[in-house]
Amino acid sequence: MTDYQQEQFPLPTPGRLRRELRLGRPPWWMVVGLIVVIVATWIPLYLIGKKRSSFSTLPKIHYIQDMDNQPAFRAQHPSSLFADGSAARPIISGTMARGHLRLDDDYWRGYRTISGETENRIEFVSEFPAQVTVDARLIQRGEERFGIYCVVCHGKIGVGDGIVHQRALAANEAQWVPPTNLLTQLARDRKEGQLFQAISDGVRNMPGYNTQISVDDRWAIVAWLRELQKSQPVAPPAEVSPSQ
């Protein structure tokens, strides 16, 4: 650019602008304030970076709630929305949770209900249901579950000499009913479904285990019991005392 052009169209340099606008040097407090403001804008960035790279046991701040947190009634609380004034609604008759229809009585209960002309009767299944495959894996699982839930009363091989029975005898419990010896011919003659139902619903002093032991594991225990009966000799019938 020539000198003539520079005179006609001067370049907007900082020095030229300061002279033409007659701007003086800003006071020190203004410079300090500007620096403070600039540094203050960095603080949110620092806090965000620190939060994203650190761990905390406190819940995160939930800015956008959407429908994640909704007001709900607690148990036994009233509600004016319904005519009966109760927030808890009764279960509709005939409803069934998905996957809990349980129409297969052989698998879920171990017996069938036979309707007769005058009354209904129960018929226990005499073999394992189609859903149960009796193999080494199932028998091993049954041995494990038997050791957890059954050994304490029936003993390791099922003769009824578990630690609970031994302690009851030591304490001279007059009303104590000995556990069933699972190696007697009577126990061997029981059908698979009857053994399953006994585990599920209980017998005499024995409580039902349908809430503690899954259906598959109950059938696994039956499979292991059959293996025990095959490997052990037949035990004599249990003696029934007058008190029983």
Per the CB < 8 A criterion, the answer to whether 27 and 33 are in contact is: no
Instruction: Output the average pLDDT for the chain.
Output: 86
Which of residues 50 and 138 earns the better pLDDT score?
138
* Residue 228 region by backbone torsions, left for phi larger than 0, else alpha for psi between -120 and 50, else beta: alpha
- Comparing C-alpha atoms, which of 220, 222, 196 is closest to residue 209? 196
The answer to whether 128 and 196 have CB atoms below 8 angstroms apart is no
Q: Encode burial over 187-199: b for 16+ CB neighbours within 10 A, e otherwise.
A: beebbbbbbbbbb
Quick one: pLDDT at residue 192? 95
DSSP line for 76-87: T-B-SSSTT-BS
Please state which architecture CATH assigns to domain 136-231: Orthogonal Bundle (1.10)
N residues, the chain: 244
Q: How many CA atoms lie within 13 A of 132 on its CB side?
A: 27
Digit-coded pLDDT (tens) for 93-122: 888 888 788 888 999 999 998 887 778 888
Q: Identify the band that residue 204 occupies on the pLDDT scale cut at 50, 70 and 90.
A: confident
Task: Give the separation between CA 109 and CA 99, rounded to whole angstroms.
Answer: 16
**Cβ atoms of 162 and 155 closer than 8 Å:** yes
Distance between terminal CA atoms of the chain? 123
Q: What is the residue extent of each domain of the chain?
A: 3-49, 136-231
Rounded to an integer, what distance in angstroms lies between the CA atom of residue 94 and that of residue 110? 23
Angle at 242 between CA 237 and CA 180, to 5 degrees: 35
pTM value surpassing 0.95? no
